[in-house]
Chains A and B, each alone.
Chain A
Amino acid sequence: MSTPGYHIKSYCHISNGKISKNGEVLFSDDSEEFPAFIKAAYKHFETDYSKFFKMDNLSKLAFMGAEVLLKDNNEENTALVLSNSASSLDTDRKHQDAISDQSGAYASPAVFVYTLPNICMGEISIRHKLYSENSFFIFAEFNPHLLSDYANDLLETGKANEVLCGWVDYDKGKYDAFLYVIAKKGLLPFDTGELTKLYRTK
């Protein structure tokens, strides 16, 4: 199903040691662990943003995807509609480990704040000065139909002029991000079949 009047403006994949934009690999790295990989990507893109180093893995993943897509984006009213399967479980497990002994004496606010999946959208909003709509959905797998319905409604009702949508999942060391911007003008028709195809083409 396609939506007349809107297009996929750009898209980005981050998985298996690679970051690509619109199908073109921009960065690849042999690091086996995500923290080393994403730090190398941060340097490669000459990102000057010290808050990055305080973020949890999920936020770093979403942040870098948004860097690739929103770096030269001038649209202030860009809504964020993200989704994943593992919510913030990677950080949840860290908080759980900290509280398992000593009746929670080792709980840290710097960890606890990241035990919500929408925090990564807060990080993107701060970085790109987006005072826009944010929604975080949990699905068993990437669901372009529901994300597209939701993006359509934000665009049709004028709540947003563009929407950064997609999938950003971090679980047990595995990472998978597929983000895309829906706008009036763009590369490809805004179509759920197209999105499914792009998601699978890594």
Chain B
Amino acid sequence: MSNIYLSHNNIVSAYGFDSASAVDSIKNEVSGLSLVDDSKILPNPFYSSLIAQDNLSKAFQKLNPQEDYTRLEQILLVSLANTLKESGLELTDRVGLIVSTTKGNIDVLDADNPFDQNRAYLSELGKKIETFFGFKNEAIVLSNACVSGVLALAVAKRFIHQKRYDHVFVVAGDLVSQFILTGFNSFQALSELPCRPFCKTRAGINIGEVGCSVLVTKDEDHLVNESVRIIGEASCNDANHISGPSRTGEGLYRSVVSAMNQANIEAEAIDYISAHGTATMFNDEMEAIAFNRAYLQDTPLNSLKGYFGHTLGASGLLETIIGMYSLHSNTLFASLGFQELGVSQPLNIITETTAKESSIFLKTASGFGGCNTAAIFQKVNS
């Protein structure tokens, strides 16, 4: 099988408008979460990480837009414009576009939103991004709950492997909206404080927002210093419950084993795990069981939700990009918010930013519908 890589990348987040601003803050263990008081979203204040609208508008105007774009479209366009520019790739018919999102422009369903409700159709969102940059191929929208961002990388790899494309740009994002917050609140899944993945005192999720993008390519001439090769990936369903994680971690365990088999590596070869770690009681417990079943209990592990919150359809891609920089800088980033292990199985949680020679990392995600994805990445430049 030919080699397929992740290359140029960008993160638009509360930290700033490039990957470096996010990585630098994480290295210094600075959270992007803050208390938000917006009664249009939730009656009570909640912790979140939001992209500043005034900075977003300024960055977006530089792209010289010819019509009005929604907030999510602006976030995705700003991120992808940066990655496209850095890559210098010409958009031929060999270049694909994947948009990863769970809810897209869901805020247009609100009667107060000025945009037409048809903007909520995800293919409309795909079309807006595709035509803005002049992609020659129809945007492929992937909407697979909270595994979308990492599954999108597997999807990009598979389309390149099938020779449909030589390069694929993946862009991912979801908004912090009343729609999402009231939904998670109805599940009593929201934490009133900054989240604490895998900690004894964890009390639920924070929802955050980012836009991020990456070039997936088979071409070694288009790599960057932090590039990684995708060496294994798999998705397995729990076949158990549509909203509750499996008690045996079945789908996640099977995903991790299947990805390791494809990568042809044993558990010992993995230097670092970027877990999903939403900080709900049941999710983190499920992950601990799955990682133990896969003999990964001693592998250094973090959740990045303490920095960004859960960024839904973007989270898997966002956390993969951070993982690329973690490998490149040979640095394990602290799992922010963690104090004392609060799951029934042992895990090696990274408690402070640590130097460690690393070459392979595992990214996992799990979501509603019983879906799970695992992907394994290997550093290109050592």
Contacts and interface: CB of A to CB of B under 8 A. Distances in A.
Contacts of B66: none
Interface string B105-147: 0100111000000001111001100000000001011111100
B369 A92 contact: no
A61 B39 CA distance: 37
Contacts of A112: 182-184, 186-187
B178 A135 contact: no
Given A85-B123, A92-B120, A150 B155 contact: yes
21 contacts: A86-B121, A87-B104, A89-B120, A100-B110, A103-B42, A115-B183, A116-B143, A118-B367, A121-B371, A122-B242, A126-B240, A126-B241, A130-B237, A130-B239, A131-B239, A133-B235, A137-B142, A138-B142, A146-B140, A153-B162, A157-B262
B242 A119 contact: yes
B226 interface: no
Contacts of A138: 122-123, 126, 141-143
Given A109-B243, A133-B236, A117 B143 contact: yes
A131 B250 contact: yes
Contacts of B109: 92-93, 96
Given A104-B181, A116-B367, A122-B370, 4 more contacts: A89-B120, A108-B186, A109-B187, A149-B164
Interface of B: 1, 39, 42-43, 102-104, 106, 109-111, 120-123, 126-127, 138, 140-145, 151, 155, 158-159, 161-162, 164, 178-179, 181-187, 234-243, 250-251, 254, 258, 262, 367-371
A96 B112 CA distance: 12
A25 interface: no
B280 to A, nearest CB: 13
Nearest to B369: A122
A169 to B, nearest CB: 11
B121 A121 contact: no
A180 interface: no
Most chain A CB inside 10 Å of its own CB: which residue of B39, B104, B161, B368: B368
A85 B125 CA distance: 12
A132 interface: yes
Contacts of B371: 118, 121-122, 134
A178 interface: no
Interface string A150-179: 101110010100000000000000000000
Given A116-B102, A134-B371, A146-B164, A107 B186 contact: yes
Given A86-B121, A104-B182, A159-B258, A122 B237 contact: yes
Nearest to B110: A96
Interface string A74-111: 00000010000111010011011001100110011100
**Closest A-B pairs by Cβ, 9 of them:** A104-B182, A122-B369, A112-B183, A138-B141, A107-B186, A153-B158, A125-B237, A138-B122, A107-B182
Contacts of A85: 121, 123
B158 A104 contact: no
Interface of B is mostly: mixed
Contacts of A86: 121
B140 A137 contact: yes
B345 to A, nearest CB: 21
B242 A113 contact: yes
B239 A136 contact: no
B162 A109 contact: no
Given A96-B110, A153-B161, A118 B181 contact: no
A129 interface: yes
B121 A87 contact: yes
Contacts of A115: 103, 179, 183
A49 to B, nearest CB: 14
Contact of A159 (B126, B164, B234, B250): B234
Contacts of A129: 239
A130 to B, nearest CB: 6
B151 A135 contact: yes
Contact of B138 (A96, A130, A139): A139
Given A122-B371, A138-B126, A107 B234 contact: no
A73 B242 CA distance: 22
Nearest to A154: B158
Contacts of B142: 135-138
B305 to A, nearest CB: 19
A193 B234 CA distance: 29
A42 B28 CA distance: 57
Given A87-B122, A104-B42, A150 B158 contact: yes
B243 A113 contact: yes
A121 B239 CA distance: 9
Contacts of A136: 142-144
Contacts of A150: 155, 158-159, 162
Contacts of B164: 146, 149
A118 B158 contact: no
A96 B179 contact: yes
A143 B140 CA distance: 10
Given A109-B187, A116-B145, A134 B250 contact: no
